[in-house]
Amino acid sequence: MGTELLEGVTVLDLASVGPAARASRWLADYGADVVKVGPVPAKSGVQIAPPFFSYSAHRRMKRVLLDIKAPEGRDAFLALAAEADVVIESFRPGVVDRLGIGYAAVSAANPGIVYCSTSGFGQSGPKSQQAGHDLNYLASGGFLHLTGAGPDGGPPIPGATVADSAGGGMHAVIAILAALHHRAASGDGLGRHLDVSVADGVLALMALSVDEFLATGQDVEVGSNLLLGRYACYDTYQAGDGKWLAVAAIEPRFWANLCGLLGLDKWTRHQNDDAVQDDIRRDMAEVFRTKDRDTWVAELAPADTCVSGVLSVPELVEDEQFAARGAFVTAKHPAHGTFRQIGPVLAGMVPADEPYVCRESDATDTDELLARAGLAADRISALRDQGVVA
């Protein structure tokens, strides 16, 4: 295995699902030592237990269970945090301070801590206390409105939890890496509190449309510009076998290639002519219906036409491009056997030997981690007897 970019970085993750859990997944895939911190099961049902395969089945992560509402559990967390580089939490704003493990408490013990709070709307503002999930933040940030209308006229549910993963998870990773870089580069060794709002992250993803409106005063709507479906050159079309094609021939030369190969040269000069877009769409739809999806892709995709098949999940996991990139790896779980999962695919991640070893969801490393944080063995065993750790 080559050098991992986040080797030696320790992360405590208090979240079980959502944007924070996605962030810690990626940090672990960059080589950070990620410790999931959960509640003691007998005392609390506060965390959602995701299915075993979620978050890559928590490969390469450790786990500690603490009742943080008990003073001894809070102190155990602070002992762990004193040695950590990053804390990630995603409770409702105010909860961590109530528990005595907020930024003030942790940075008093460890001024270098990079403390990332991910929440739906951020730590401040009139919506900060509102409960919510991916769809709420996509709605608030304008994404859902511009997704258009489904069969019943309302915005369809998007095919991925974009707010959680990009607006929250990737947002948190970027912020954490920037803070770690600054801590090292400034030489002061100080961390900071990062207030990651998923809704703010969605807003950043919506910048093209929102900035267009702010700069021009023109309302941005479905169909109002090239990337929102105004032109036939950027749309989806159904093939003869009922499967779908994505066409994104933006550049005039790629559009010309496409028109030529579809036998529709007459439209080459009308790519951006609003008056005939319905006619172009009608002709393209008719031609695309004459062959099945994969035949079209085989003919058009290599010819600089920006045409792709709309792949289902079972199709994409067999896709030759992802296979060539080594995108899928084998993992092994004591209860679920051997299965495939998405590997460490982001740039700079270093693949490990396969199969990736996944553990039972109730496996813990409490003794090892608390011992490393300075707690004596008899103290840990007393805490376990009291139900404060598990």
Ligand X SMILES: CC(C)(COP(=O)(O)OP(=O)(O)OC[C@H]1O[C@@H](n2cnc3c(N)ncnc32)[C@H](O)[C@@H]1OP(=O)(O)O)[C@@H](O)C(=O)NCCC(=O)NCCS
Which C-beta is closer to ligand X: that of 203 or that of 357? Answer: 203
Pairing of strands 234-238, 10-13: unpaired
Q: Which of 188, 195, 74, 192 is nearest to 128 (CA)?
A: 195
Pick from 44, 218, 338, 386: which binds ligand X (CB under 6 A)?
44
Q: 128 near 122, Cβ under 8 Å?
A: yes
Q: Is residue 67 a contact residue for ligand X (CB under 6 A)?
A: yes
Pick from 98, 181, 266, 325: which binds ligand X (CB under 6 A)?
98
Number of helical H runs and strand E runs in the chain = 17, 12
| Site residues (CB under 6 A) for ligand X, limited to 4-43 | 18-19, 39
With contacts defined by CB under 6 A, name the span among 88-96, 266-274, 275-283, 365-373 that binds ligand X: 88-96
Q: Is residue 195 a contact residue for ligand X (CB under 6 A)?
A: no
Q: Is 13 a catalytic residue?
A: no
Query: Of 29, 164, 195, 235, which one is the catalytic site residue?
Result: 164
Which C-beta is closer to ligand X: that of 19 or that of 31? Answer: 19
Minimal distance, residue 163 CB to ligand X, in Å? 8
Site string for ligand X, 150-189 (x = CB under 6 A): --------------x-------------------------
Which C-beta is closer to ligand X: that of 90 or that of 209? Answer: 90
Which C-beta is closer to ligand X: that of 85 or that of 134? Answer: 134
Minimal distance, residue 40 CB to ligand X, in Å? 7
Q: Is residue 79 a contact residue for ligand X (CB under 6 A)?
A: no
Q: Which of 101, 80, 112, 108 is nearest to 187 (CA)?
A: 112
Q: Is residue 92 a contact residue for ligand X (CB under 6 A)?
A: yes
Binding-site size, ligand X (CB under 6 A): 22
Q: 113 near 101, Cβ under 8 Å?
A: no
Tokens 């998007």 sit at which residue? 158
Break the chain down into helix, strand, coil percent, rounded to 5: 45, 15, 40
CA Rg value for the chain: 25
User: What is the separation of C-alpha 237 from the centre of its chain, rounded to a whole number of angstroms?
Assistant: 28
Q: Is 336 a catalytic residue?
A: no
Pick from 5, 79, 82, 95: which binds ligand X (CB under 6 A)?
95
Residues in the chain, how many? 390
SS3 category, 313: helix
Strand partners, 279: none
With b for 16 or more beta-carbon neighbours within 10 A and e for fewer, the 310-322 pattern comes to ebeeeeeeeeeeb
Task: Quickly list DSSP for 293-336.
Answer: HHHHHHHHGGGSS-EEE---HHHHTT-HHHHHTT-EEEEEETTT
Q: Is residue 271 a contact residue for ligand X (CB under 6 A)?
A: no
Which C-beta is closer to ligand X: that of 99 or that of 264? Answer: 99
With contacts defined by CB under 6 A, name the span among 62-70, 276-284, 302-310, 349-357 that binds ligand X: 62-70
Tokens 């036939």 sit at which residue? 232
Pair of tokens at residue 339: 């299965």
Q: Is residue 60 a contact residue for ligand X (CB under 6 A)?
A: no
Q: Is residue 120 a contact residue for ligand X (CB under 6 A)?
A: yes
**What does the binding site for ligand X look like in residue numbers (CB under 6 A)?**
18-19, 39, 44, 46, 66-69, 90-92, 95, 98-99, 119-120, 131-134, 164
Among all residues, which ones are annotated catalytic?
133, 164
